[in-house]
Amino acid sequence: MKTVFVKPADVERKWFLLDAEGKVLGRLAARIASILRGKEKAVFTPNQELGDYVVVINADKIALTGNKAEQKLYRRHTGYVGGLKTVNYEKLAEKHPSSPLELAIKGMLPKGPLGRKLQKNVKVYPGAEHPHIAQKLEKIEL
């Protein structure tokens, strides 16, 4: 079986709208990552950007299971010696409501130039308002 290479001009790319209210963080992020990669398309190729665009609303109302709100940690490094910064989910979501979902999606995408390109195809908004009405969004459910 041979891999089919599709020219970027021939790819049909849609815009999808996802409401994150009450959805579990990891399951939602996995579904979004799959749509961004284009895995649901018949012409999926691992090294090409064939996926669709995703707009996520109500990211501040996302759900976590168990005690993850207090126990889940996000780490980053400043680049200086001893510069490891750690913050839990509650504090991160309070300061930047869309960050936990964006970081979860980023972790599920490929690393490198393709992953960075795919990250630009997801738009996450903490509330119900978004500026993408002109794109004729298709609403999808999990």
pLDDT averaged per 10 residues, the chain (length 142) = 82 94 96 96 90 96 95 97 97 97 97 97 96 95 86
- Give the separation between CA 30 and CA 89, rounded to whole angstroms: 18
45 phi, psi to nearest 5 deg: -130, 130
73 belongs to a structural domain: no
Residue 16 lies in a domain: yes
* CATH number, position 38: 3.90.1180.10
Which pLDDT score, from 0 to 100, does residue 9 have?
A: 87
Distance CA 49, CA 30 (A): 17
Asked, for residue 19, whether it belongs to a domain, the answer is yes
Token pair listed for 4? 């089919």
Give the per-residue pLDDT at 3: 74
Measured CA to CA, the distance from residue 96 to residue 90 in angstroms comes to 10
**Is residue 71 situated within a structural domain?**
no
